[in-house]
A and B are shown apart, each in its own frame.
Chain A
Amino acid sequence: MLTIYLTYLKIHIKSLLQYKMSFILTAIGQAFSSMFSLLAIYFLFEKFGNIQGYTFEDVLICFVISYLGFSISECFFRGFDSFTSTISNGEFDRILVRPVNIMLQVLGTKIDFARMGRAVLSIIIFIILFYYCPYLIAMDKLITMFFMIIGTVIIFSSLHVLKAGLTFFTIQSLELMNIFTDGGRDLSQYPLNIYKKWVLNFFTYVLPLSMVNYYPLLYVIGKSSNTLYIFAPFVSILFILPCYLVWKLGVKKYQSVGS
Protein backbone atom coordinates (compact mmCIF):
# COMPACT_ATOMS: atom_id res chain seq x y z
CA MET A 1 0.00 0.00 0.00
CA LEU A 2 2.78 2.36 0.90
CA THR A 3 4.59 1.70 -2.36
CA ILE A 4 1.47 2.61 -4.31
CA TYR A 5 1.13 5.87 -2.40
CA LEU A 6 4.80 6.63 -2.98
CA THR A 7 4.25 6.07 -6.70
CA TYR A 8 1.37 8.52 -6.60
CA LEU A 9 3.60 11.02 -4.81
CA LYS A 10 6.33 10.58 -7.39
CA ILE A 11 3.89 11.16 -10.26
CA HIS A 12 2.53 14.31 -8.65
CA ILE A 13 6.00 15.69 -8.05
CA LYS A 14 6.96 14.95 -11.64
CA SER A 15 3.89 16.67 -13.05
CA LEU A 16 4.53 19.61 -10.76
CA LEU A 17 8.06 19.99 -12.06
CA GLN A 18 6.58 20.39 -15.55
CA TYR A 19 4.88 23.60 -14.44
CA LYS A 20 7.42 25.02 -12.04
CA MET A 21 6.49 28.67 -12.50
CA SER A 22 2.78 28.10 -12.04
CA PHE A 23 3.50 26.07 -8.91
CA ILE A 24 5.72 28.73 -7.38
CA LEU A 25 3.22 31.52 -8.12
CA THR A 26 0.31 29.61 -6.61
CA ALA A 27 2.34 28.77 -3.51
CA ILE A 28 3.33 32.42 -3.12
CA GLY A 29 -0.32 33.41 -3.51
CA GLN A 30 -1.27 31.05 -0.68
CA ALA A 31 1.45 32.43 1.56
CA PHE A 32 0.46 35.99 0.60
CA SER A 33 -3.12 35.50 1.74
CA SER A 34 -1.97 34.14 5.11
CA MET A 35 0.31 37.15 5.45
CA PHE A 36 -2.77 39.35 5.57
CA SER A 37 -4.38 37.19 8.27
CA LEU A 38 -1.17 37.64 10.21
CA LEU A 39 -1.16 41.37 9.57
CA ALA A 40 -4.73 41.57 10.88
CA ILE A 41 -3.66 39.96 14.14
CA TYR A 42 -0.67 42.29 14.37
CA PHE A 43 -2.84 45.37 13.80
CA LEU A 44 -5.35 44.32 16.45
CA PHE A 45 -2.59 43.79 19.02
CA GLU A 46 -0.94 47.05 18.00
CA LYS A 47 -4.22 48.79 18.79
CA PHE A 48 -5.38 46.86 21.87
CA GLY A 49 -2.20 45.44 23.44
CA ASN A 50 -3.61 42.11 24.59
CA ILE A 51 -6.75 39.99 24.50
CA GLN A 52 -7.95 38.56 27.80
CA GLY A 53 -4.40 38.27 29.02
CA TYR A 54 -3.01 36.60 25.90
CA THR A 55 -0.03 38.36 24.35
CA PHE A 56 0.76 38.67 20.66
CA GLU A 57 3.31 35.84 20.94
CA ASP A 58 0.75 33.52 22.57
CA VAL A 59 -1.71 34.07 19.76
CA LEU A 60 1.06 33.69 17.20
CA ILE A 61 1.84 30.19 18.48
CA CYS A 62 -1.84 29.32 18.14
CA PHE A 63 -2.04 30.81 14.65
CA VAL A 64 1.09 29.12 13.34
CA ILE A 65 0.13 25.66 14.57
CA SER A 66 -3.39 25.97 13.21
CA TYR A 67 -2.19 27.12 9.78
CA LEU A 68 0.59 24.56 9.58
CA GLY A 69 -1.74 21.67 10.42
CA PHE A 70 -4.43 22.94 8.09
CA SER A 71 -2.14 23.34 5.10
CA ILE A 72 -0.54 19.92 5.51
CA SER A 73 -3.97 18.33 5.58
CA GLU A 74 -5.17 20.44 2.65
CA CYS A 75 -2.15 19.38 0.62
CA PHE A 76 -2.45 15.63 1.13
CA PHE A 77 -6.23 15.32 1.50
CA ARG A 78 -7.07 17.53 -1.46
CA GLY A 79 -8.58 14.48 -3.17
CA PHE A 80 -11.26 14.33 -0.48
CA ASP A 81 -11.68 18.09 -0.31
CA SER A 82 -12.56 18.32 -4.01
CA PHE A 83 -14.36 14.99 -4.12
CA THR A 84 -17.46 16.44 -5.81
CA SER A 85 -15.64 16.66 -9.12
CA THR A 86 -14.41 13.08 -8.77
CA ILE A 87 -18.03 11.92 -8.41
CA SER A 88 -19.57 14.16 -11.05
CA ASN A 89 -17.06 13.36 -13.79
CA GLY A 90 -17.36 9.60 -13.25
CA GLU A 91 -13.79 9.23 -12.06
CA PHE A 92 -15.04 7.45 -8.94
CA ASP A 93 -16.45 4.58 -11.03
CA ARG A 94 -12.99 3.94 -12.36
CA ILE A 95 -11.60 3.94 -8.85
CA LEU A 96 -14.17 1.34 -7.75
CA VAL A 97 -13.19 -1.20 -10.37
CA ARG A 98 -9.53 -1.19 -9.45
CA PRO A 99 -8.32 -3.80 -6.94
CA VAL A 100 -6.71 -1.21 -4.68
CA ASN A 101 -7.98 0.41 -1.50
CA ILE A 102 -10.53 3.12 -2.37
CA MET A 103 -9.35 5.69 0.15
CA LEU A 104 -5.78 5.30 -0.98
CA GLN A 105 -6.80 6.00 -4.56
CA VAL A 106 -8.81 9.08 -3.62
CA LEU A 107 -5.81 10.30 -1.66
CA GLY A 108 -3.63 9.70 -4.67
CA THR A 109 -5.84 11.42 -7.25
CA LYS A 110 -4.88 14.84 -6.00
CA ILE A 111 -1.92 16.01 -3.99
CA ASP A 112 -1.71 19.76 -4.08
CA PHE A 113 1.79 20.83 -3.09
CA ALA A 114 1.03 24.49 -3.77
CA ARG A 115 -1.05 24.43 -0.59
CA MET A 116 2.23 24.10 1.27
CA GLY A 117 2.82 27.82 0.64
CA ARG A 118 1.00 28.45 3.91
CA ALA A 119 3.05 25.79 5.67
CA VAL A 120 6.32 27.36 4.54
CA LEU A 121 5.22 30.73 5.88
CA SER A 122 4.19 29.07 9.15
CA ILE A 123 7.58 27.43 9.51
CA ILE A 124 9.33 30.75 8.96
CA ILE A 125 7.19 32.35 11.68
CA PHE A 126 7.94 29.38 13.93
CA ILE A 127 11.67 30.01 13.61
CA ILE A 128 11.20 33.71 14.40
CA LEU A 129 9.06 32.71 17.39
CA PHE A 130 11.79 30.45 18.76
CA TYR A 131 14.18 33.37 18.52
CA TYR A 132 11.94 35.77 20.46
CA CYS A 133 10.54 33.22 22.93
CA PRO A 134 13.49 31.03 23.92
CA TYR A 135 11.35 29.49 26.69
CA LEU A 136 9.64 27.46 23.95
CA ILE A 137 12.80 25.43 23.44
CA ALA A 138 12.16 22.88 26.15
CA MET A 139 11.58 19.21 25.60
CA ASP A 140 8.03 19.11 27.03
CA LYS A 141 6.91 22.19 25.09
CA LEU A 142 8.40 21.01 21.82
CA ILE A 143 6.69 17.65 22.21
CA THR A 144 3.37 19.33 23.04
CA MET A 145 3.59 21.54 19.96
CA PHE A 146 4.46 18.54 17.81
CA PHE A 147 1.39 16.69 19.12
CA MET A 148 -0.70 19.80 18.46
CA ILE A 149 0.39 19.95 14.82
CA ILE A 150 -0.25 16.24 14.26
CA GLY A 151 -3.64 16.53 16.00
CA THR A 152 -4.60 19.50 13.83
CA VAL A 153 -3.70 17.52 10.71
CA ILE A 154 -5.85 14.62 11.94
CA ILE A 155 -8.88 16.83 12.70
CA PHE A 156 -8.86 18.69 9.40
CA SER A 157 -8.14 15.54 7.39
CA SER A 158 -11.07 13.78 9.08
CA LEU A 159 -13.25 16.77 8.21
CA HIS A 160 -12.23 16.47 4.57
CA VAL A 161 -13.14 12.78 4.61
CA LEU A 162 -16.47 13.62 6.27
CA LYS A 163 -17.16 16.26 3.61
CA ALA A 164 -16.41 13.75 0.85
CA GLY A 165 -18.59 11.14 2.57
CA LEU A 166 -21.52 13.52 2.76
CA THR A 167 -21.13 14.29 -0.94
CA PHE A 168 -22.43 10.77 -1.65
CA PHE A 169 -25.75 11.80 -0.14
CA THR A 170 -26.03 15.29 -1.62
CA ILE A 171 -24.13 14.93 -4.93
CA GLN A 172 -23.82 18.73 -4.94
CA SER A 173 -20.81 20.50 -3.57
CA LEU A 174 -21.05 21.07 0.16
CA GLU A 175 -20.16 24.70 0.62
CA LEU A 176 -21.66 24.53 4.08
CA MET A 177 -18.89 22.25 5.26
CA ASN A 178 -16.46 25.10 4.66
CA ILE A 179 -17.90 26.66 7.79
CA PHE A 180 -16.17 23.88 9.73
CA THR A 181 -12.98 23.55 7.70
CA ASP A 182 -12.11 27.15 6.81
CA GLY A 183 -14.12 28.45 9.74
CA GLY A 184 -12.32 26.12 12.14
CA ARG A 185 -9.01 27.28 10.75
CA ASP A 186 -9.92 30.94 11.18
CA LEU A 187 -11.45 30.51 14.64
CA SER A 188 -8.47 28.60 15.95
CA GLN A 189 -6.11 31.45 15.04
CA TYR A 190 -6.96 32.66 18.53
CA PRO A 191 -7.28 30.70 21.81
CA LEU A 192 -10.85 29.40 21.70
CA ASN A 193 -11.90 30.79 25.10
CA ILE A 194 -11.91 34.40 23.88
CA TYR A 195 -15.18 33.60 22.11
CA LYS A 196 -18.48 32.77 23.78
CA LYS A 197 -18.66 29.74 26.04
CA TRP A 198 -20.76 27.71 23.58
CA VAL A 199 -18.05 28.01 20.95
CA LEU A 200 -15.52 26.35 23.22
CA ASN A 201 -18.11 23.72 24.17
CA PHE A 202 -18.90 22.95 20.55
CA PHE A 203 -15.24 22.68 19.67
CA THR A 204 -14.63 20.39 22.63
CA TYR A 205 -17.53 17.95 22.61
CA VAL A 206 -18.63 17.91 18.94
CA LEU A 207 -15.55 18.80 16.96
CA PRO A 208 -12.57 18.36 19.30
CA LEU A 209 -10.53 21.24 17.90
CA SER A 210 -9.88 22.65 21.37
CA MET A 211 -8.08 19.41 22.28
CA VAL A 212 -5.41 20.05 19.68
CA ASN A 213 -5.39 23.80 19.75
CA TYR A 214 -6.57 25.30 23.02
CA TYR A 215 -5.83 23.06 26.03
CA PRO A 216 -2.30 22.08 24.98
CA LEU A 217 -1.65 25.74 24.14
CA LEU A 218 -2.38 26.65 27.77
CA TYR A 219 0.42 24.30 28.76
CA VAL A 220 2.84 25.63 26.14
CA ILE A 221 2.42 29.27 27.12
CA GLY A 222 2.58 28.39 30.83
CA LYS A 223 -1.01 29.31 31.71
CA SER A 224 -1.55 25.80 33.04
CA SER A 225 0.86 23.25 34.45
CA ASN A 226 -1.49 20.32 34.01
CA THR A 227 0.72 17.76 32.24
CA LEU A 228 -2.39 15.94 31.04
CA TYR A 229 -2.85 18.73 28.49
CA ILE A 230 0.29 17.56 26.68
CA PHE A 231 -1.58 14.47 25.60
CA ALA A 232 -4.93 16.16 24.87
CA PRO A 233 -4.24 16.11 21.08
CA PHE A 234 -4.65 12.32 21.17
CA VAL A 235 -8.38 12.85 21.53
CA SER A 236 -8.38 13.87 17.86
CA ILE A 237 -7.92 10.18 16.99
CA LEU A 238 -11.46 9.54 18.28
CA PHE A 239 -12.77 11.99 15.72
CA ILE A 240 -11.55 9.80 12.85
CA LEU A 241 -14.17 7.16 13.65
CA PRO A 242 -17.46 8.97 12.90
CA CYS A 243 -15.98 10.59 9.79
CA TYR A 244 -14.76 7.24 8.52
CA LEU A 245 -18.19 5.69 9.19
CA VAL A 246 -19.98 8.36 7.15
CA TRP A 247 -17.53 7.76 4.33
CA LYS A 248 -18.06 3.98 4.50
CA LEU A 249 -21.85 4.39 4.47
CA GLY A 250 -21.58 6.74 1.53
CA VAL A 251 -19.47 4.36 -0.52
CA LYS A 252 -21.98 1.59 0.23
CA LYS A 253 -24.95 3.56 -1.06
CA TYR A 254 -23.10 5.10 -4.01
CA GLN A 255 -24.87 5.15 -7.34
CA SER A 256 -23.02 6.33 -10.37
CA VAL A 257 -24.08 9.71 -11.72
CA GLY A 258 -21.46 10.87 -14.16
CA SER A 259 -20.33 9.65 -17.49
Chain B
Amino acid sequence: MRLYIAYFKMKFLNEMQYKVAALAGIATQFAWGFMYIMLFTAFINNSDTSSYSSSQVVTYIWLQQSFYMLFAFWSVDKDIFESIVSGNLAYELTKPIKLYDIWFVKTFALKVAKTVLRAFPIFLICTLPVLGEFSMSAPVSILAAIWFVITMFFSTIILLSYIMIIYVITITAISPMGVKITFSLIGDFFSGGLIPIPLMPDIVQTILKYTPFYYIQNIPYNIYNGYISSNLEIIKIIGIQILWIVILIMFGKFLMKNSMKKVVIQGG
Protein backbone atom coordinates (compact mmCIF):
# COMPACT_ATOMS: atom_id res chain seq x y z
CA MET B 1 0.00 0.00 0.00
CA ARG B 2 2.86 2.37 0.85
CA LEU B 3 4.19 1.88 -2.64
CA TYR B 4 0.90 3.00 -4.16
CA ILE B 5 0.70 6.03 -1.90
CA ALA B 6 4.23 6.98 -2.95
CA TYR B 7 3.31 6.72 -6.64
CA PHE B 8 0.16 8.75 -6.01
CA LYS B 9 2.09 11.50 -4.23
CA MET B 10 4.77 11.64 -6.92
CA LYS B 11 2.30 12.02 -9.76
CA PHE B 12 0.10 14.43 -7.81
CA LEU B 13 2.92 16.83 -6.89
CA ASN B 14 4.32 16.67 -10.39
CA GLU B 15 1.00 17.69 -11.89
CA MET B 16 0.39 20.49 -9.37
CA GLN B 17 3.21 22.48 -10.97
CA TYR B 18 1.20 23.38 -14.03
CA LYS B 19 -0.70 26.26 -12.51
CA VAL B 20 -0.64 28.59 -15.52
CA ALA B 21 -2.02 25.85 -17.74
CA ALA B 22 -4.78 25.38 -15.19
CA LEU B 23 -5.61 29.09 -15.25
CA ALA B 24 -6.00 29.07 -19.02
CA GLY B 25 -8.05 25.91 -18.64
CA ILE B 26 -10.38 27.62 -16.20
CA ALA B 27 -11.04 30.51 -18.60
CA THR B 28 -11.77 28.06 -21.41
CA GLN B 29 -14.06 26.07 -19.15
CA PHE B 30 -16.06 29.19 -18.39
CA ALA B 31 -16.48 30.14 -22.02
CA TRP B 32 -17.69 26.67 -22.92
CA GLY B 33 -19.93 26.55 -19.85
CA PHE B 34 -21.73 29.73 -20.87
CA MET B 35 -22.03 28.49 -24.43
CA TYR B 36 -23.58 25.14 -23.47
CA ILE B 37 -25.93 26.75 -20.95
CA MET B 38 -27.24 29.20 -23.54
CA LEU B 39 -27.67 26.44 -26.09
CA PHE B 40 -29.48 23.96 -23.86
CA THR B 41 -31.68 26.53 -22.15
CA ALA B 42 -32.68 27.78 -25.62
CA PHE B 43 -33.87 24.27 -26.47
CA ILE B 44 -35.56 23.74 -23.09
CA ASN B 45 -37.32 27.13 -22.93
CA ASN B 46 -38.54 26.56 -26.45
CA SER B 47 -40.44 23.43 -25.48
CA ASP B 48 -43.08 23.03 -22.80
CA THR B 49 -42.76 19.29 -22.40
CA SER B 50 -39.18 19.11 -21.14
CA SER B 51 -38.75 17.07 -17.96
CA TYR B 52 -35.33 18.62 -17.43
CA SER B 53 -35.60 22.21 -16.17
CA SER B 54 -33.27 24.98 -17.28
CA SER B 55 -31.96 25.51 -13.74
CA GLN B 56 -31.12 21.81 -13.61
CA VAL B 57 -29.19 22.10 -16.84
CA VAL B 58 -27.29 25.14 -15.54
CA THR B 59 -26.20 23.23 -12.44
CA TYR B 60 -25.31 20.18 -14.53
CA ILE B 61 -23.10 22.21 -16.88
CA TRP B 62 -21.21 24.00 -14.10
CA LEU B 63 -20.58 20.76 -12.25
CA GLN B 64 -19.38 19.27 -15.50
CA GLN B 65 -17.05 22.21 -16.14
CA SER B 66 -15.73 22.09 -12.55
CA PHE B 67 -14.92 18.39 -12.67
CA TYR B 68 -14.09 18.40 -16.37
CA MET B 69 -10.61 16.97 -15.96
CA LEU B 70 -11.86 14.16 -13.73
CA PHE B 71 -14.36 12.83 -16.24
CA ALA B 72 -12.69 13.81 -19.51
CA PHE B 73 -11.98 10.52 -21.26
CA TRP B 74 -9.10 11.94 -23.26
CA SER B 75 -7.28 13.17 -20.16
CA VAL B 76 -5.08 10.16 -19.48
CA ASP B 77 -1.50 9.66 -18.39
CA LYS B 78 0.65 10.53 -21.41
CA ASP B 79 3.72 8.91 -19.83
CA ILE B 80 2.01 5.54 -19.84
CA PHE B 81 1.18 5.85 -23.53
CA GLU B 82 4.70 6.97 -24.23
CA SER B 83 6.20 4.05 -22.33
CA ILE B 84 4.08 1.69 -24.42
CA VAL B 85 4.94 3.29 -27.76
CA SER B 86 8.65 3.87 -27.04
CA GLY B 87 9.25 0.46 -25.52
CA ASN B 88 10.14 1.77 -22.06
CA LEU B 89 7.42 -0.57 -20.91
CA ALA B 90 10.18 -3.19 -20.76
CA TYR B 91 11.75 -1.46 -17.76
CA GLU B 92 8.43 -1.31 -15.97
CA LEU B 93 8.02 -5.03 -16.51
CA THR B 94 11.30 -5.81 -14.79
CA LYS B 95 10.19 -4.07 -11.60
CA PRO B 96 8.50 -6.13 -8.88
CA ILE B 97 5.25 -4.18 -9.14
CA LYS B 98 1.77 -4.89 -10.42
CA LEU B 99 1.53 -2.84 -13.59
CA TYR B 100 -2.28 -2.66 -13.60
CA ASP B 101 -2.44 -1.28 -10.07
CA ILE B 102 0.38 1.21 -10.60
CA TRP B 103 -1.18 2.58 -13.78
CA PHE B 104 -4.49 2.83 -11.98
CA VAL B 105 -3.00 4.80 -9.09
CA LYS B 106 -0.96 7.05 -11.38
CA THR B 107 -3.95 7.98 -13.54
CA PHE B 108 -6.05 8.53 -10.43
CA ALA B 109 -3.43 10.90 -8.96
CA LEU B 110 -3.11 12.78 -12.22
CA LYS B 111 -6.83 13.31 -12.52
CA VAL B 112 -7.25 14.36 -8.90
CA ALA B 113 -4.43 16.90 -9.21
CA LYS B 114 -5.81 18.38 -12.42
CA THR B 115 -9.27 18.57 -10.92
CA VAL B 116 -8.16 20.16 -7.64
CA LEU B 117 -6.46 22.99 -9.56
CA ARG B 118 -9.53 23.74 -11.65
CA ALA B 119 -12.61 22.65 -9.73
CA PHE B 120 -12.54 24.99 -6.75
CA PRO B 121 -12.17 28.30 -8.58
CA ILE B 122 -14.89 27.35 -11.07
CA PHE B 123 -17.13 26.02 -8.32
CA LEU B 124 -16.74 29.19 -6.28
CA ILE B 125 -17.27 31.66 -9.09
CA CYS B 126 -20.26 29.99 -10.68
CA THR B 127 -22.23 29.92 -7.44
CA LEU B 128 -22.03 33.74 -7.26
CA PRO B 129 -25.53 35.22 -7.41
CA VAL B 130 -24.25 37.96 -9.76
CA LEU B 131 -24.51 35.46 -12.59
CA GLY B 132 -28.30 35.55 -12.32
CA GLU B 133 -29.93 32.83 -14.38
CA PHE B 134 -26.45 31.45 -15.09
CA SER B 135 -25.59 30.81 -11.46
CA MET B 136 -25.35 27.32 -10.04
CA SER B 137 -27.69 26.27 -7.24
CA ALA B 138 -26.78 24.38 -4.07
CA PRO B 139 -27.52 20.64 -3.78
CA VAL B 140 -31.27 20.09 -3.50
CA SER B 141 -30.90 18.59 0.00
CA ILE B 142 -28.23 17.55 2.50
CA LEU B 143 -28.95 13.93 1.64
CA ALA B 144 -28.45 14.72 -2.06
CA ALA B 145 -25.08 16.24 -1.20
CA ILE B 146 -24.05 13.04 0.60
CA TRP B 147 -25.24 10.86 -2.30
CA PHE B 148 -23.37 13.20 -4.65
CA VAL B 149 -20.07 12.60 -2.88
CA ILE B 150 -20.57 8.84 -2.71
CA THR B 151 -21.59 8.42 -6.36
CA MET B 152 -18.82 10.80 -7.46
CA PHE B 153 -16.31 8.36 -6.00
CA PHE B 154 -17.80 5.31 -7.71
CA SER B 155 -18.15 7.20 -11.01
CA THR B 156 -14.46 8.06 -10.92
CA ILE B 157 -13.53 4.43 -10.34
CA ILE B 158 -15.71 3.31 -13.26
CA LEU B 159 -14.03 5.83 -15.51
CA LEU B 160 -10.56 4.78 -14.38
CA SER B 161 -11.27 1.11 -15.01
CA TYR B 162 -12.52 2.05 -18.50
CA ILE B 163 -9.33 4.03 -19.17
CA MET B 164 -7.29 1.05 -17.97
CA ILE B 165 -8.87 -1.02 -20.75
CA ILE B 166 -7.76 1.65 -23.26
CA TYR B 167 -4.17 1.42 -21.98
CA VAL B 168 -4.15 -2.36 -22.18
CA ILE B 169 -5.58 -2.49 -25.70
CA THR B 170 -2.92 0.02 -26.75
CA ILE B 171 -0.19 -2.46 -25.84
CA THR B 172 -1.16 -4.80 -28.67
CA ALA B 173 -2.74 -2.28 -31.07
CA ILE B 174 -1.03 -1.16 -34.24
CA SER B 175 -2.29 2.41 -34.01
CA PRO B 176 -2.26 3.52 -30.35
CA MET B 177 -3.64 6.98 -31.12
CA GLY B 178 -6.49 5.48 -33.12
CA VAL B 179 -7.50 3.29 -30.17
CA LYS B 180 -7.31 6.18 -27.77
CA ILE B 181 -9.34 8.56 -29.94
CA THR B 182 -12.05 6.02 -30.73
CA PHE B 183 -12.51 4.85 -27.15
CA SER B 184 -12.45 8.33 -25.66
CA LEU B 185 -14.82 9.87 -28.22
CA ILE B 186 -17.38 7.11 -27.69
CA GLY B 187 -17.03 7.29 -23.91
CA ASP B 188 -17.20 11.06 -23.83
CA PHE B 189 -20.31 11.29 -25.95
CA PHE B 190 -22.34 8.50 -24.37
CA SER B 191 -21.49 9.49 -20.80
CA GLY B 192 -23.09 12.87 -21.41
CA GLY B 193 -19.98 14.90 -22.22
CA LEU B 194 -21.49 16.73 -25.19
CA ILE B 195 -25.14 16.77 -24.22
CA PRO B 196 -26.54 15.67 -20.83
CA ILE B 197 -28.09 12.20 -21.02
CA PRO B 198 -31.54 13.49 -19.88
CA LEU B 199 -31.61 15.62 -23.07
CA MET B 200 -31.04 12.60 -25.32
CA PRO B 201 -33.97 10.80 -26.99
CA ASP B 202 -35.78 8.38 -24.64
CA ILE B 203 -34.77 5.28 -26.55
CA VAL B 204 -31.09 6.23 -26.35
CA GLN B 205 -31.43 6.77 -22.60
CA THR B 206 -32.98 3.33 -22.19
CA ILE B 207 -30.16 1.67 -24.09
CA LEU B 208 -27.48 3.62 -22.21
CA LYS B 209 -28.78 2.26 -18.89
CA TYR B 210 -27.29 -1.09 -19.92
CA THR B 211 -23.82 0.41 -20.46
CA PRO B 212 -21.25 1.73 -17.97
CA PHE B 213 -21.44 5.19 -19.60
CA TYR B 214 -24.76 5.96 -17.93
CA TYR B 215 -23.20 5.51 -14.49
CA ILE B 216 -20.30 7.95 -14.77
CA GLN B 217 -20.75 11.75 -14.61
CA ASN B 218 -24.45 11.52 -15.37
CA ILE B 219 -25.28 10.09 -11.92
CA PRO B 220 -23.66 12.48 -9.39
CA TYR B 221 -24.58 15.66 -11.30
CA ASN B 222 -28.20 14.65 -11.70
CA ILE B 223 -28.46 13.71 -8.04
CA TYR B 224 -27.03 17.11 -7.08
CA ASN B 225 -29.56 19.01 -9.18
CA GLY B 226 -32.47 16.87 -8.06
CA TYR B 227 -33.25 15.15 -11.37
CA ILE B 228 -32.66 11.78 -9.71
CA SER B 229 -34.17 12.08 -6.23
CA SER B 230 -35.67 8.78 -5.13
CA ASN B 231 -33.44 7.23 -2.45
CA LEU B 232 -34.44 3.73 -3.49
CA GLU B 233 -33.39 4.42 -7.06
CA ILE B 234 -30.08 5.93 -5.94
CA ILE B 235 -29.25 2.85 -3.84
CA LYS B 236 -30.05 0.67 -6.85
CA ILE B 237 -27.81 2.86 -9.03
CA ILE B 238 -24.91 2.56 -6.58
CA GLY B 239 -25.32 -1.21 -6.72
CA ILE B 240 -25.07 -1.13 -10.53
CA GLN B 241 -22.05 1.19 -10.29
CA ILE B 242 -20.24 -1.35 -8.10
CA LEU B 243 -21.23 -4.11 -10.50
CA TRP B 244 -19.70 -2.22 -13.43
CA ILE B 245 -16.53 -1.54 -11.44
CA VAL B 246 -16.13 -5.26 -10.79
CA ILE B 247 -16.82 -6.18 -14.42
CA LEU B 248 -14.51 -3.56 -15.93
CA ILE B 249 -11.62 -4.22 -13.55
CA MET B 250 -11.87 -7.97 -14.03
CA PHE B 251 -11.99 -7.53 -17.79
CA GLY B 252 -9.05 -5.12 -17.74
CA LYS B 253 -6.92 -7.43 -15.62
CA PHE B 254 -7.82 -10.37 -17.86
CA LEU B 255 -6.80 -8.41 -20.98
CA MET B 256 -3.61 -7.28 -19.30
CA LYS B 257 -2.63 -10.84 -18.40
CA ASN B 258 -3.28 -11.98 -21.96
CA SER B 259 -1.38 -9.18 -23.65
CA MET B 260 1.57 -9.58 -21.28
CA LYS B 261 1.96 -13.14 -22.47
CA LYS B 262 2.60 -12.04 -26.02
CA VAL B 263 3.90 -8.50 -25.55
CA VAL B 264 6.50 -7.48 -28.12
CA ILE B 265 8.73 -4.56 -27.23
CA GLN B 266 9.16 -2.51 -30.38
CA GLY B 267 11.45 0.26 -29.24
CA GLY B 268 15.16 0.05 -28.71
Q: In the complex the two chains form, is B28's CB within 8 Å of A37's CB?
A: no
Please classify how large the interface on chain B is, using the bins under 10, 10 to 19, 20 to 34, 35 or more. 20 to 34
Report the count of interface residues on A (CB-CB < 8 A): 33
State whether A190 and B47 are in contact (beta carbons under 8 Å apart), knowing that A36-B185, A175-B24, A175-B25 are contacts in the complex. no
- Answer whether residue B181 sits at the interface, using C-beta atoms and an 8 A cutoff: yes
A179 contacts across to B, CB distance below 8 A:
27-28, 31
Q: For the complex formed, measure the closest distance between the CB of A196 and the CB atoms of chain B, giving whole angstroms.
A: 6
- B204-222 toward A: CB 8 Å interface, digit per residue (1/0)? 1000000000000000000
Q: Which residue of A lies closest to B38 (CB)?
A: A195
Q: For the complex formed, measure the closest distance between the CB of A35 and the CB atoms of chain B, giving whole angstroms.
A: 9
Which of B122-130, B145-153, B193-201, B228-236 lies at the binding interface?
Answer: B193-201
Q: Which of B149-191 contact A (CB under 8 A)?
A: 175, 177-178, 181-182, 185, 188-189
- Answer whether residue B21 sits at the interface, using C-beta atoms and an 8 A cutoff: yes
- Answer whether residue B246 sits at the interface, using C-beta atoms and an 8 A cutoff: no
Q: Which of A183-239 contact B (CB under 8 A)?
A: 183, 186-187, 190, 194-196, 199
Which of A38-46, A91-99, A159-167, A250-258 lies at the binding interface?
Answer: A38-46
Q: For the complex formed, measure the closest distance between the CB of B81 and the CB atoms of chain A, giving whole angstroms.
A: 15
- Answer whether residue B7 sits at the interface, using C-beta atoms and an 8 A cutoff: no
Q: In the complex the two chains form, is A178's CB within 8 Å of B35's CB?
A: no
Q: For the complex formed, measure the closest distance between the CB of A166 and the CB atoms of chain B, giving whole angstroms.
A: 13
Instruction: Compute how far the CA of A199 lies from the CA of B35 in the bound complex, rounded to whole angstroms.
Output: 9
Cross-chain contact of B28 among A25, A175, A199 (Cβ < 8 A) = A175
- Answer whether residue B32 sits at the interface, using C-beta atoms and an 8 A cutoff: yes
B131 contacts across to A, CB distance below 8 A:
none
State whether A47 and B201 are in contact (beta carbons under 8 Å apart), knowing that A25-B178, A36-B185 are contacts in the complex. yes
Q: For the complex formed, measure the closest distance between the CB of A238 and the CB atoms of chain B, giving whole angstroms.
A: 24
B25 contacts across to A, CB distance below 8 A:
175
State whether A40 and B194 are in contact (beta carbons under 8 Å apart), knowing that A32-B181, A50-B46 are contacts in the complex. yes
Instruction: Compute how far the CA of A49 lies from the CA of B47 in the bound complex, rounded to whole angstroms.
Output: 9
A196 contacts across to B, CB distance below 8 A:
38
Q: For the complex formed, measure the closest distance between the CB of A228 and the CB atoms of chain B, giving whole angstroms.
A: 27
Q: Which of B1-53 contact A (CB under 8 A)?
A: 20-21, 24-25, 27-28, 31-32, 35, 38-39, 42-44, 46-47, 50
Q: In the complex the two chains form, is B50's CB within 8 Å of A48's CB?
A: yes
Q: For the complex formed, measure the closest distance between the CB of B254 and the CB atoms of chain A, giving whole angstroms.
A: 27
B46 contacts across to A, CB distance below 8 A:
48, 50-52
- A148-180 toward B: CB 8 Å interface, digit per residue (1/0)? 000000000000000000000000100110110
Q: In the complex the two chains form, is A47's CB within 8 Å of B199's CB?
A: yes
Q: In the complex the two chains form, is B181's CB within 8 Å of A44's CB?
A: no
State whether A186 and B189 are in contact (beta carbons under 8 Å apart), knowing that A29-B177, A52-B42 are contacts in the complex. no
- Answer whether residue A89 sits at the interface, using C-beta atoms and an 8 A cutoff: no
Cross-chain contact of A195 among B42, B189, B200 (Cβ < 8 A) = B42
A52 contacts across to B, CB distance below 8 A:
42, 46
Q: How many A-B residue pairs have CB under 8 A?
A: 77
Max chain A C-beta neighbours (<10 A), residue from B27, B28, B42, B177: B42
Q: In the complex the two chains form, is B182's CB within 8 Å of A32's CB?
A: yes
Q: For the complex formed, measure the closest distance between the CB of B14 and the CB atoms of chain A, giving whole angstroms.
A: 20
Q: In the complex the two chains form, is A29's CB within 8 Å of B178's CB?
A: yes
Q: In the complex the two chains form, is A37's CB within 8 Å of B194's CB?
A: yes
Q: In the complex the two chains form, is B24's CB within 8 Å of A176's CB?
A: yes
- Answer whether residue A33 sits at the interface, using C-beta atoms and an 8 A cutoff: yes
Q: In the complex the two chains form, is B24's CB within 8 Å of A33's CB?
A: no
- A31-71 toward B: CB 8 Å interface, digit per residue (1/0)? 01100110110011011111110000000000000000000
A50 contacts across to B, CB distance below 8 A:
46
Q: For the complex formed, measure the closest distance between the CB of B36 and the CB atoms of chain A, giving whole angstroms.
A: 9
A43 contacts across to B, CB distance below 8 A:
195, 199-201, 204
Q: Which residue of A lies closest to B204 (CB)?
A: A43
Cross-chain contact of B201 among A32, A46, A175, A194 (Cβ < 8 A) = A46
Q: For the complex formed, measure the closest distance between the CB of A59 and the CB atoms of chain B, giving whole angstroms.
A: 11
Q: In the complex the two chains form, is A48's CB within 8 Å of B182's CB?
A: no
Instruction: Compute how far the CA of A195 lies from the CA of B32 in the bound complex, rounded to whole angstroms.
Output: 13
Q: List 21 A-B contacts (CB under 8 A).
A: A25-B175, A25-B178, A29-B178, A32-B182, A36-B189, A40-B195, A43-B195, A44-B195, A46-B201, A48-B43, A48-B47, A48-B50, A52-B46, A172-B20, A175-B25, A176-B27, A179-B31, A183-B32, A187-B35, A194-B38, A199-B38
Chain A interface residues (CB < 8 Å from chain B): 21-22, 25-26, 29, 32-33, 36-37, 39-40, 43-44, 46-52, 172, 175-176, 178-179, 183, 186-187, 190, 194-196, 199
Given contacts A25-B175, A46-B201, A48-B43, 7 further A-B contacts (CB under 8 A): A47-B199, A48-B47, A175-B25, A176-B28, A183-B32, A196-B38, A199-B38
